[in-house]
Amino acid sequence: MTETVLYLTRHGQTEWNLQKRMQGHQNSALTTLGKQQAEWLKERLEGENLGAIYSSSSLRAFHTAQILRGNRTLPIQQLDELMEINMGIWEGMKTEQIEQDYPLQYARFFTSPDLYVPVSLGETYEQLEQRLIPAVECILNDNPGQKLLIVTHRMTLKVIMAHFLNKSLREIGEMPDIFSTALCKVQVIDGKSYVDLLGDTSHYRGAQNQESKIGKATC
């Protein structure tokens, strides 16, 4: 029997999360809270004997991965395929302005991913899935029997978890939100996948739970 364990998380809170700006392929720095969120998750994962760490090539994900690595000597393997969905001209815009200017597209982005079409230059969810899922499968195939960590993004992580839960793109809009550094866990045993955790935030402390209200605003 071969058992591979995949831990997945979203990056810590960023400055643009606070400003309620869409990030996508653009980037903003982790906030003090974002770094603290990563520290809390680092403590939670300290006892796990990780065989490899993968990160989106976006700096906010890579910096989160650096914190999560802790004292391990593992390299962090950065992959463009793990980046957030490309949002085109929405990137850098405040969500309030996007919702006002593009109400139908904005609503579909969150609630009907199968119907979402980017306004300009961005990706559909189908395109995201096509670049993302083969990369995740490759990570699993390259590391059989290992414990692995992937640090990625909100919508990217939803698409990954929908894949392991055998959900369609349409059903992603019905899935629970995934907050900053929330933890997902998938066991792959002899080719069959079992989801143990989906967006777990039990490592959050104190008033940190208020951040979830911010996490719903931007990607």
Topology of the domain covering 3-215: Rossmann fold (3.40.50)
In angstroms, what CA-CA distances link 138 with 15, 131, 171? Answer: 32, 11, 24
CA separation for the pair 110, 218 (Å, rounded): 10
Residue type, 90: W
Longest dimension (CA), the chain: 53
CA 160 distance to own-chain centroid: 9
Q: What phi and psi, each to the nearest 5 degrees, are found at residue 71?
A: -90, 5
Closest CA to 112 of 104, 120, 123: 104
The pLDDT assigned to 120 comes to: 87
In angstroms, what CA-CA distances link 36 with 17, 22, 39, 209? Answer: 15, 22, 5, 13
Whether 60 and 28 have beta carbons less than 8 Å apart is answered as yes
The pTM of the full predicted model, rounded to 2 decimals, is: 0.95
3-state helix, strand, coil in the chain (%, to 5): 45, 20, 35
The pLDDT assigned to 207 comes to: 61
Closest CA to 210 of 185, 184, 180: 180
> In the structure encoding, which two tokens stand for residue 130, read together?
């096509």
The pLDDT assigned to 66 comes to: 98
The pLDDT assigned to 215 comes to: 44
Instruction: Specify the 3-state DSSP secondary structure of 102.
Output: coil
Mean pLDDT by 10 residues, the chain (219 residues): 96 98 98 98 97 98 98 97 98 98 97 95 97 98 98 98 96 95 97 96 78 53
The pLDDT assigned to 111 comes to: 95
Q: What phi and psi, each to the nearest 5 degrees, are found at residue 170?
A: -60, -35
